[in-house]
Amino acid sequence: MQQRPECTYMLDKLRDDLPKHLKYHTLGHTLDVYSRAEAIAKAEGLNGRMLDLLLVAAVYHDAGYLHQRVEHENRSCTIVREVLPGYGYPEKEIEEICRIIMATQLPQNPGSLAEQIICDADLDYLGRDDFFTTGEGLYYEMLHDGVVANENEWDAIQVKFLENHRFFTPTSIALRSAKKQDNLNRLKARLQ
């Protein structure tokens, strides 16, 4: 990761100030999204200033969790609008970063390539070997917040989510679709 002061600032805040009950929306998740966004962008040919804005958006996309879970993307954009002018970002670039962040809001409906990339990076784990261990962190968050009552309910939600989810970039479709289907099949088997 490039050492941009605006990114270091937010990564330090996430490390130090995220609520302790968060087991999925952690600094590790943000770093994973950054890393996957960078890799997908390279494969998709996104570069230059738009790549820079995408990577800043990846660092800030869950910053709203410092304050709230519901509509955290809106809060992330509020933080972006408060913080990034101090690092010399013009309003046009700040609004582009916010558009990229808002694309991660569920259900995802990205427009630009940068928005597609962040959506795929944010949910990359759906098509990986670490799906179940990563998802366990999200389960504990949802249990804490009273969104689910038990693992069976959680598995049912995950099945529905995976059935409705799609990757957007050719890179993620090629790299993650087969394993995502495998993870879905394993979930369905667990529910029976």
Q: What is the pLDDT of residues 101-143, one digit of tens each?
A: 999 999 999 999 999 999 999 999 999 999 999 999 999 999 9
Residue 2 pLDDT > 80: no
Residue showing tokens 């490039």: 2
Hey, what are 74's tokens?
């809106």
The pLDDT score that the predictor gives to residue 191 is 87
pTM: 0.96
Q: Give 3's pLDDT tier (boundaries 50, 70, 90).
A: confident
DSSP of 62-89:
TGGGGT-STTHHHHHHHHHHHHGGGGT-
Residue 1 pLDDT > 60: no
* Percentage helix, strand, coil for the chain under 3-state DSSP, each rounded to 5: 75, 0, 25
Q: Give 192's pLDDT tier (boundaries 50, 70, 90).
A: confident
Mean pLDDT (the chain) is 96
Contact yes or no for 22/65 (Cβ under 8 A): yes
Q: What are phi and psi of 18, to 5 degrees?
A: -65, 140
Instruction: Say whether 143 sits in a helix, a strand or coil.
Output: helix
